Structure 1
Amino acid sequence: MKNTLKLLSLLFVVMFTVSSCSKDDDPVDNDLFVGTYEGTTSYTGSGSDVDLGDGKVTVVKIGGSNYSFKFDRGIPDLNNVTMTKGDNNTLFFEDGVIGYVRITEGKLTMAYAKDNQTWTADADR
């Protein structure tokens, strides 16, 4: 009986530990996604379009759930983007823009449209 109780206790601890670990991280939750990503970027709007080509995007977390995306190649920076977490790690923009931003530890994918401007990126770290 004593051994059975020990075994059940150990099993409970292992189950609790495994269930509390998560492979899915979310940019709204932590700073893991801050850094520089390299790949293809583009921009249209404000009379200074930048065609799709090799570029860099630096992701900076400003605080809370606000991010800035700093582009090179003469692409204007995308500042103070507010994202909130939804179901299934879906991100929602609070300022009513159209598009998506997906950030993982190793990849940034975005198509973001606001005020007749569009930023795109498909980049890896």
Structure 2
Amino acid sequence: MRNFFKFIGGLFLMVFVVTACSIDDDPANNDFFIGKYNGNVSYNDANVNKQNNNGSVQVVKVGNTYNFLFSDEIPDITGVEIQKNENSAVMIGSTTTHYIKINANNLTILFLKDGATWTADANR
């Protein structure tokens, strides 16, 4: 019986995630968003140089906090705050510089932190 409830709970979660964000949902208009953007991704630091023209970025948003989960063993960018109902974040600081623009169809990232650079130019 316990496994049955785990199965039902997992099934409910899967249905919720799949139906929560349709392809035309704009992340700025949702408190919870999951979407996959496909296109050019890259990462460079002192030891690593990765680039893929067919890469992807999985975007997970909860509240105003975005997490960008890259393909190709590129480190993730997590904890980026973008104000609700805005589609871009621009921050220039002492250790982090970034430009992120996201909407229902496109994702553009230029993120520099601690000598590393992430980029993405992807579509959904």
Shorter-chain TM-score category?
0.5 to 0.7
TM-score by length of 2: 0.65
TM-score by length of 1: 0.64
TM-superposed deviation, 1:70: 0.5
Structure 2 unpaired stretches of 5+: 1-24
Structure (1 or 2) with the larger CA radius of gyration: 1
User: C-alpha distance in 1, partners of 2:119/2:113?
Assistant: 12
Q: Give the AA of the match of 2:53.
A: G
TM-superposed deviation, 1:90: 4.9
Aligned length: 99
Matches within 5 A, 1:98-113: 98-113=97-112
Percent identical among aligned pairs is 39
User: C-alpha distance in 2, partners of 1:67/1:49?
Assistant: 24
| Kept in 2: contact 1:32–1:105 (CA 8 A) | no
| Kept in 2: contact 1:85–1:91 (CA 8 A) | no
RMSD: 2.9
Structure 1 unpaired stretches of 5+: 1-24
Q: Give the AA of the match of 2:89.
A: L
Q: Give the AA of the match of 2:83.
A: T
Change (3 A) 1:64 1:85: closer
